[in-house]
Amino acid sequence: MSCTIINKERTGVINPILNCQPCGAQYAGIGIKDCIPLVHGGQGCSMFVRLLFAQHFKENFEIASSSLHEEAAVFGGLKRVEEGIEVLARRYPDLRVIPIITCCSTEIIGDDIEGSARKAARRLKELFPDREIFLAPVHAPSFKGSHVTGYNECIASLVKTIARKGEPNGKLNVFTGWVNPGDVSALKGYLKEMDVQALVIPDIESLDSPILPDKSITTYGSTTVEDLADTANSVGSLCLSRYEGATAATFLESKFKVPAVVTSTPIGIKNTDAMLQNISRMTGKPIPESLVRERGLAIDSLADLAHMFFAGKKVAIFGNPDLAIALAQFCHEVELEPALLLLGDDNSRYAKDPRIVELQETLECEMEVVCNADLWDLEDRIRNKGMKYDLIMGHSKGRYIAIDANVPMVRVGFPTFDRAGLYRHPIIGYKGAAMLGDQIANTLFAHMEYTRDREWILNTW
């Protein structure tokens, strides 16, 4: 059938799918241990992102602001960055990494944060001769790209700033892309199962953090400075995302000859197969029997759902491009029809993304891909253009479209603040595929019951 790839026709944005670059850079920054991102801009640029993270994770994260005010807008804000770095270093004795994240304002002013970082580094050396604090400049002007590119930029800057050539470590770098703590748990499970020593960048499993009897707070990522430094010495880099982390992986390849494989997010059976085969190929470790069984369990449970409940159902998908495209691939595997794919920024590479090309070739249904899309592209189709979707898959910012049009919606991606605990539930890997299948089915089942749409089928299922 046909697949059309278009750009959003409107100029402005009504209900954005993605946030701006500084948000993504901050998401990457909180994944590092002993790290406090310093956002160089107005206070809202960090305060609202912290709120967004609190909504998604139900956790608080340490992110600082240079608190840019008028005088900085006129005379430049570098003094505030330098002061911010020093205040952080003084008050947080364990601090080892500060990503310095610019925003639209400070990019327009033209603040030289590299120069500032050098100056601040000299000052820190005087103040704390026994400490090494890495300052990673992250250019994240909000008027370019989206939170996806901001994330990519911050991971790249952290690796560029900290990676150091040393002895070969026999480890595999795994760049996760923008995922959830539950996904990282699942990923680490696979690595363990395959007996692979890996550097997971960033390891955000611990962003889902406990209330402990001693009241200690451990709400930060687990990737250490040593891990980042050691990425230069690994056997290879596997980047599980094309747009979120690939720059770091290719940097390690060109600078330190660490071979990079940039692949799809392991959502669905085929993408998980590819991940495991890549891990096996890059490390020489075989894929164990246990994973053959886990794969079989996933296919077994999806087979109960696919041709009976999923086949022919039209799905509208939106979110981060790697996620949205992989979800479309997953839909294809389980006979759901990815009818609409909304990619929320203006990256010109999407049209040539090999996964989109493959979908174009293999799908039997019509699929519309809208680049630089917003959520009005979905609402307008439903409200004014007579398009019908049986399911919406995306993050919570699209909730009212589903509620108002009475279309069942599976919350997936970032942010998901209107359903409990989703950050904990993996959607990657075979188990994640099975769980995502369950989530889709149960959402459709609840909708059948509320709308009395052949709900009696479930009497005997």
Q: Which of residues 241-300 bind another protein (CB under 8 A)?
A: none
Q: Which is nearer to another protein, 149 or 231 (CB)?
A: 149
* Cα angle value 267/269/271 (rounded, 5°): 55
Who contacts 206 (Cβ-Cβ below 8 Å, separation ≥6)?
Answer: 181, 218, 219, 220, 221, 222
> CB of residue 11 vs another protein: minimum separation in angstroms?
4
Q: Rounded to whole angstroms, what are the CA distances from 181 to 86, 115, 185, 312, 370?
A: 31, 35, 6, 32, 29
206 is a site residue for another protein (CB under 8 A): no
User: Which of 3, 19, 124, 162 forms a contact with another protein (CB under 8 A)?
Assistant: 19
In whole angstroms, what is the distance from residue 175 CA to residue 22 CA? 19
> CB of residue 305 vs another protein: minimum separation in angstroms?
31
User: Which of 4, 48, 118, 170 forms a contact with another protein (CB under 8 A)?
Assistant: 48
Q: Which is nearer to another protein, 335 or 345 (CB)?
A: 345
In whole angstroms, what is the distance from residue 166 CA to residue 230 CA? 7
In whole angstroms, what is the distance from residue 359 CA to residue 244 CA? 21
Q: Which is nearer to another protein, 85 or 187 (CB)?
A: 85
User: Which of 35, 66, 184, 433 forms a contact with another protein (CB under 8 A)?
Assistant: 66
84 is a site residue for another protein (CB under 8 A): yes
User: How big is the chain, counted in residues?
Assistant: 461
User: Which of 376, 390, 405, 455 forms a contact with another protein (CB under 8 A)?
Assistant: 376
192 is a site residue for another protein (CB under 8 A): no
> CB of residue 337 vs another protein: minimum separation in angstroms?
27
324 is a site residue for another protein (CB under 8 A): no
Given CA atoms 141, 146, 151, 153 in this order, what sign does their dihedral have?
A: negative
Q: Which is nearer to another protein, 142 or 173 (CB)?
A: 142
42 is a site residue for another protein (CB under 8 A): yes
Who contacts 384 (Cβ-Cβ below 8 Å, separation ≥6)?
Answer: none
Count of residues binding another protein (CB under 8 A)?
A: 79
Q: Helix or strand or coil: residue 396? A: helix
One-character DSSP codes across 305-346: HIIIIITT-EEEEEESHHHHHHHHHHHHHTT-EEEEEEE-S-
Of the listed pieces 141-149, 167-175, 424-432, 438-446, which binds another protein according to CB under 8 A?
Answer: 141-149
Task: List the 236-239 sheet strands across, edge first.
Answer: 198-201, 172-175, 236-239, 260-262
DSSP 170: -
146 is a site residue for another protein (CB under 8 A): yes
1 is a site residue for another protein (CB under 8 A): no
349 is a site residue for another protein (CB under 8 A): no
User: Which of 28, 30, 45, 363 forms a contact with another protein (CB under 8 A)?
Assistant: 45
219 is a site residue for another protein (CB under 8 A): yes
50 is a site residue for another protein (CB under 8 A): yes
User: Which of 80, 242, 314, 411 forms a contact with another protein (CB under 8 A)?
Assistant: 80
> CB of residue 379 vs another protein: minimum separation in angstroms?
9
User: By CB under 8 A, what part of segment 95-134 binds another protein?
Assistant: 103-105, 108-109
In the block, tokens 């099975």 appear at 434
Which of these, 299, 360, 359, lies nearest to 329 by C-alpha position?
A: 359
70 is a site residue for another protein (CB under 8 A): yes
